[in-house]
Amino acid sequence: MNTPLLKFVWRGEIVSLHHVPTTRTLLQVLREDLASTGTKEGCNEGDCGACTVVLGEKFGEHIKYSAINSCIRLAHSINGMALWTAQDLAAPDGTPHPVQQALLQCHASQCGFCTPGFTMSLFGMYQNQACQGQAITRMEAQEALSGNLCRCTGYRPILQAAQHMASLPRASLDETVLLQLLEQLTQAGQAPEVSSLYICPTSLGQLLSARASNPGAQIVAGCTDVGLWVNKLHMDFEKVLDISRVAELRKIEKRAGQTVIGAAVTLSEAFAALETDRPQLHTFFSRFAGLPVRNSGTLGGNVANGSPIGDSMPMLISLRSTVVLASLRGERELPLEALYTGYRKNVMAADEVLTWIKVPTPEPDEFMRVYKVSKRFEDDISAVCLAVSLNLKDGKCVRASLGVGGVAATPVRAVQTETALAGIPLTQDTVSQAIVTLRGEFQPISDVRASSSYRTQVLGNLLQRFYLESQGQSHTNLADFSLKGDLS
């Protein structure tokens, strides 16, 4: 078989690379094949942000800019897109870009190793906000930089630079020329050899046919987990099936009583859509990894992955979400929690793919919260994640839904606790009894993130917190008992 061909726009030109293996990462292509070493390799697992680059993709008559981690992104996934690195921002005469100028003026770099990554996260923010005449708040800067770690400068001057860059003379890209180049790539289509090794269908019909013909191909979307398998486990795949270009699966639709999210919708886009119905979820969403991971990873990928510490699943379970599995044989729909059979194992047949996640819209009497406990506030993995959704009428719990992560081999529904809460008045006494049920419902393991006893204790504490918040006490006047002990 021929090795796939890779084409993308870089530095104002279409770059064509031959003989790029299917599992070669974008960072490897940049540093080793293109000798563009300004982009750094740090953790090589999408945590530190030193490898951050920005991708541009044609959306209608505009370009969408996304900061992503190049270390875990498979190179072929950017076929047909535009790419920027920290070495591509200065003007041809050497004049620094406003992002670079702001970092300089705010003294926001010391050793400089992390600076290219911060620069690119800020560049993405600059293109999406500053270029549109929007001011940047400190909170917005913090969220945009949540996937970038700095060990020497400290974040204050970097956050100042994020706000300062919008006040400098504007530097705009020539999007007209860029759109023309991207259109050329679209019209050129894929070379035949691409279809044989890195399969990238653009319609659902093509995807289902490709899956039926290639049941052993590794499915990818944003590569945020598969990239780790390549880098850390040294896995290799002869064939890759990339679902990220399937038009039907990149849509978010509002239907009767549901938000239907395609499996190829990025986490950033999916969370934004869910947040419009449930704004209280913003803090939880902003704690899901870092922005570059959310810009690459997809909700469908997180769900299909089935990790017991995948943060989206407890939330979706508590909202009584369903998933649709499809093949050439047809479709079937099932509750999300029924998808899993064991640790990273599911009920999907070899010819099936996960196509949609259906999330019910809020009911008038819904009270819903999601709590994540981790060692770091941002860019960290949960020790425990608890999502609770109750339908409350006149102080009585009409229906309860609880999703839990970090306590079993899969994300799970707390069925016993739901039964204990359903149909009874919500009081301190009834909640205390439900806490006992919840703590006894699971036997979590001990690992590097937390001990079994800690997880059990915190699980009950979080339910107590939920009760207090349902009674009108906000998080600002609650002690952080989820980390310190039991208030029940």
Whether 481 shows a pLDDT value over 70: the answer reads no
Distance of CA 374 to the CA centre of its chain: 17
Is 382 in contact with 309 (CB distance < 8 Å)?
A: yes
Query: Which pLDDT score, from 0 to 100, does residue 195 have?
Result: 56
**What does the block give as tokens for 442?**
């699971």
Q: Tens digits of per-residue pLDDT, 365-405?
A: 999 999 999 998 888 899 999 999 999 999 999 999 999 99
Region 435-454: what's the mean pLDDT? 96
CATH 3.30.390.50 corresponds to the domain 366-484: yes
pTM of the full structure: 0.94
State what percent of residues in the chain have pLDDT above 70.
95
Q: How confident is the model at residue 326 (pLDDT cuts 50, 70, 90)?
A: very high
pLDDT, position 379: 84
Q: Three-class SS string for the chain? A: CCCCCEEEEECCEEEEECCCCCCCEHHHHHHHHCCCCCCCCCCCCCCCCCCEEEEEEEECCEEEEEEEECCCCEHHHHCCCEEECHHHCCCCCCCCCHHHHHHHHCCCCCCCCCHHHHHHHHHHHHHHCHHHCCCCCHHHHHHHCCCCCCCCCCHHHHHHHHHHHHHCCCCCCCHHHHHHHHHHHHHHCCCHHHHHHEECCCCHHHHHHHHHHCCCCEEECCCCCHHHHHHHCCCCCCCEEECCCCHHHHCEEEECCEEEEECCCEHHHHHHHHHHHCHHHHHHHHCECCHHHHHHCEHHHHHHHCCCCCCHHHHHHHCCCEEEEEECCEEEEEEHHHHEEECCEECCCCCCEEEEEEEECCCCCEEEEEEEECCCCCCECCCEEEEEEEEEECCEEEEEEEEEECCCCCCEECHHHHHHHCCCECCHHHHHHHHHHHHHHCCCCCCCCCCHHHHHHHHHHHHHHHHHHHCCCCHHHCCCHHHHCCCC
**Does the pLDDT of residue 194 top 90, yes or no?**
no
Q: What percent of the chain has pLDDT over 90?
A: 89
Architecture of domain 1-187: Roll (3.10)
Q: Identify the bridge partners of residue 25 per DSSP, sorted by sequence position.
A: 74
Q: pLDDT tens digit string along 43-81?
A: 999 999 999 999 999 988 899 999 999 999 999 999 999
Per-residue pLDDT, averaged over 199-219, amounts to 96
Q: What is the spatial distance between Cα 285 and Cα 399, in angstroms, rounded to a whole number?
A: 24
Non-local CB neighbours of 272 within 8 Å, separated by 6+ positions: none
CA–CA separation, 146 vs 28, rounded Å? 24
Q: How far apart are CA 295 and CA 77, in angstroms?
A: 13
- CA–CA distance from 436 to each of 290, 324, 440, 459, 464 (Å)? 34, 35, 6, 10, 11
Please give the CATH number for the structural domain made up of 252-360: 3.30.465.10
Q: Which of 291, 289, 271 is nearest to 118 (CA)?
A: 291
Q: In what order do the strands lie in the sheet with 218-220?
A: 198-199, 240-242, 218-220
pLDDT (average), residues 423-429: 96
Mean pLDDT of the chain: 93
Amino acid at 165: M
Higher pLDDT, 487 or 186: 186
Nearest to 220 by CA among 187, 197, 192: 197
The predicted-structure confidence for 287-325, as pLDDT tens digits, reads as follows 999 999 999 999 999 999 999 989 999 999 999 999 999
- pLDDT score for 478: 47
By C-alpha distance, which of 425, 393, 414 is closest to 462? 414
Q: Name beta bridge partners: 57.
A: 64
Question: Which residues on adjacent β-strands are paired with residue 327?
Answer: 330
94-139 pLDDT, tens digit each? 999 999 999 999 999 999 999 999 999 999 999 999 998 999 999 9
pLDDT, residue 61, reads 86
Query: Band of the pLDDT at 482, cuts 50, 70, 90?
Result: very low
Summarize the confidence of residues 318-341 as an average pLDDT. 98
For 461-480, the pLDDT digits (tens) are 999 999 999 999 875 554 44
pLDDT confidence of residue 151 = 81
Q: How far is CA 409 from CA 188, 325, 342, in A?
A: 45, 22, 6
Instruction: Count Cα atoms within 13 angstroms, Cβ side, for 88.
Output: 22
Q: Where are the domains of the chain?
A: 1-187, 252-360, 366-484
Question: What was the pLDDT predicted at 189?
Answer: 65
